[in-house]
Amino acid sequence: MYLKIAEVARRNKGWNMRKLADKMDIEHQTVMYWNQGRAYPRLPTLIKLCRLLECTFEELVVPED
């Protein structure tokens, strides 16, 4: 799976990843790692991301075939 964090944040809120990290009160590098597929957030964090970005789980998470 991979996450479309940067795309969804930009499209839905006009935020870059640094702004998203500030809103979530986490390190910018953590959001970068998630977006690059180097790390993945836990389910409660994914739910928080969806709520904050006003998107569905399916819009944010893309399964790999």
pLDDT in tens, 2-57: 899 999 999 999 999 999 999 999 999 999 999 999 999 999 999 999 999 999 99
Domain 2-62 has CATH 1.10.260.40: yes
Q: How confident is the model at residue 63 (pLDDT cuts 50, 70, 90)?
A: confident
User: Which residue type is seen at 57?
Assistant: F
Q: What pLDDT is attached to residue 64?
A: 81
- Whether the per-residue pLDDT at 65 is higher than 80: the answer is no
Residue with tokens 């009160």: 25
Rounded to two decimals, what is the model's pTM?
A: 0.87
Mean pLDDT score across all residues of the chain: 94
CB count, 10 Å around CB of 34?
23
